[in-house]
Amino acid sequence: MKRILLFFSFLLVYVGVDSQTVNQQLKTASKMQESMPDSCILISQKVLTKISDTDIKDKGYAYWNLAQSYLYKHQYHTALFYALKGNELFAKSDTSRLYQDIQATIGWIYFDIGNYQYAVPYHQKALEIAQLRANLSEEVLYTNALGLNALSSNHYQRALGFFQKALFILNSSEEQNRSLLSTVQNNMGIIYIHYEDWVKAETFLHQSLENSSGVASGLLETYSLLSRVYLNTLDYEKCKAYLDKAENVSYKTSYSFSLIEYYKVRYEYERVIGNLKSAYRYQNKYIQLYKKINNRNVQGVMNYLIEVQDEKIKQDKLLIEQAQKIALNRQILVFVGITLAIIVIGILYYVFKSKAERSLLRQKLLKQELDEKEELQAELSSKLAYKNEAIETLALTMSKRNELVKKVAEDVSKSSSADVKKAWRKFEQAFNQYSDSSILSDKFIKDFKYRVQSQFPDLTNKELQLLVDIRNDLTSKELAEKYHVEVKSIEMSRYRLRKKLHLEKGVQLKDFIMKL
């Protein structure tokens, strides 16, 4: 029944736009990119059969419509195919709005499939064109896009810089674009969620709601993010309230990335409060949607081949229908061919599915084992480097001390005063005893660390070594030079060490260590 209704809706759209000019048809199709992507595809492919190779603008417009429609359908390979065909029509120096939109679309395709480094140059190019066209709203839009690329690559500080720049441009503009402002504030909230700064995250997300244009996908994402904030701050009442709001708007949008955020937060909340049945239901929704938008595996490659073949068949079908009014039996033959192709691909998919999963699991285990070995090697290398440096420092200190003592001894030997020589011998005895006791032996260090760990088991290896260094009379400046860090870093380490040792104000860290 749904297929029949879909067919008639396509037919109505097809007939309705047939009387329009090519440009009007393309504009009509562009309004359907998100809400009715299949209709947009049908109209744009029909337009391609009418225009000549010299109609660069209309051809580029049609390719852009197709790329955007397939992007909303999460058919990324086909979307990229049409976007790149549109990109080939323009010179790199072009500054038109259409070329800018095509650059942005290619960036969003790479962004959605997780290739963020490939998305950056296209979003950057779109930003440069927007700046040349002096369009502040579009400049904010693509500055925000670059921030999303950095955010998805876990470069939170860089992402924060882009979002702050976007806010600055919006606040500097005479005409306030509340919708864009809401989007940027929402993304600022995401940044502070990653930083676990729940107060700032809550503030920006509420500001985003105040400036929201009421689009369901945007509201759904912001409600879900606020629910995550309250879930992490254990405010379950507010968390539930915003999850209910998100539930109400979730039926008004099909935007996958907002829905997947909502399903994830809802699953975590239901699991925390013990509603396991509901948690399981939302977990299933999350998994199904995640598989839909993440098609970067063997299944995705197979589906891509089917889609390319299917698209060519559709285009040939439109050309033949317009030129020769092909007979019904030819349509039946094409349908049978597609059906057979789908059956064959389905059989191949089920045959190779288990093999692909085993291969992926084996690769994951091998990578995990390799990472563990690399971490162990890095740790051993770090310990060896530290010991070598400690030996070199000790040797240098002893060498300088011995040279000084030798020089003074030579001066004393030249003195004719018996009192001076007698005093020097006493000094030598005391000095040698002090030298033997001041340098900590390996055995003493091991015993010292054992005693400390038995009293304070939460101390890390770095903090134990800091105790030994302080016990060895090294100042913060000397420690900073030894470890090649700032003095402030050493002081911060000493401060954290005091907290772990539970020292009260007025108790000197060095005196406490000497008593251990």
Answer with the residue of higher pLDDT: 408 or 371: 371
Which is nearest to 65 in space by CA: 88, 95, 89, 39?
A: 39
177-185+196-294: which CATH architecture?
Alpha Horseshoe (1.25)
The tokens for 28 are 């009509």
Place of tokens 């790479």: 110
- 160 pLDDT more than 60: yes
pLDDT of amino acid 302: 35
Q: What is the mean pLDDT of residues 213-241?
A: 90
Of 64-73, 236-245, 396-405, 415-424, minimum mean pLDDT range: 396-405
Give the predicted TM-score (pTM) of the model. 0.52
pLDDT of amino acid 405: 67
Answer with the residue of higher pLDDT: 234 or 413: 234
pLDDT of amino acid 298: 34
Which is nearest to 451 in space by CA: 468, 439, 474?
A: 468
- 8 pLDDT more than 50: no
pLDDT of amino acid 288: 85
Residues 402-410: contacts with CB under 8 Å, at least 24 apart: 405/431
The tokens for 396 are 């240098």
Which is nearest to 142 in space by CA: 152, 155, 129?
A: 129
Dihedral Cα 197, 200, 205, 207, nearest 10 deg: 180
Q: What is the mean pLDDT of residues 172-183?
A: 83
Domain ranges within the chain, ordered by starting residue: 177-185+196-294, 438-515
Residue 316 banded pLDDT, cuts 50, 70, 90 = low
Angle at 127 between CA 122 and CA 132, to 5 degrees: 125
Residue 464 banded pLDDT, cuts 50, 70, 90 = confident
Domain 438-515 indexed as CATH 1.20.120: no
Which is nearest to 187 in space by CA: 227, 158, 147, 132?
A: 147
